[in-house]
Amino acid sequence: MDKKMIADRRENGILIADRYFSTTLCYQTLEGIDIKMAVDFAKNFQIEVPDAIFYLNVDPDIAIKRKHGEDKEKNFREKDFDFIRKTHKQYQELVDEQAWCKWVNIDGNKSVDEVTKNIYNKILNLKD
């Protein structure tokens, strides 16, 4: 994503990015790269640090059930239940360590309306 565009949008409002660097951070550390080294990578490449990452924490078994209820072809990662469980565990580590920036843990097991309301309320209180 364009660094200037991100900076401009952050200055003038709220910018929501889908899994920007957090997914890379999770996958890199899952593959054995040290968290500090992964965060240093982001610094070296001047990746914009978000005010917060909203982590939708969904139990892996519920995530698998939801994903396989969708009427579309699954990619190789979506078919790999062991990978899904490992990824969930790795994200929990990143949340616990508050790696790179502030992580906000959202209970993603709830209904869409409840999750949306929770995120909205967290955004309103983010600067407090």
Is 128's pLDDT higher than 60? no
Mean pLDDT over 43-47 rounds to 90
- Interval 100-119: pLDDT, tens: 999 999 999 999 999 999 99
Is 2's pLDDT higher than 80? no
Question: Beta-carbon neighbour count of residue 73 at 10 Å?
Answer: 7
The answer to whether 88 and 63 have CB atoms below 8 angstroms apart is: yes
Confidence (pLDDT) at 18: 73
The answer to whether 119 and 106 have CB atoms below 8 angstroms apart is: yes
Residue extents of the structural domains in the chain = 3-124
> What is the rounded (10 degree) CA torsion for 25, 69, 76, 119?
-10
Confidence (pLDDT) at 62: 95
Task: Provide CATH code, domain 3-124.
Answer: 3.40.50.300
Query: Hey, what are 3's tokens?
Result: 């660094």
Question: Beta-carbon neighbour count of residue 13 at 10 Å?
Answer: 7
Mean pLDDT over 31-58 rounds to 92
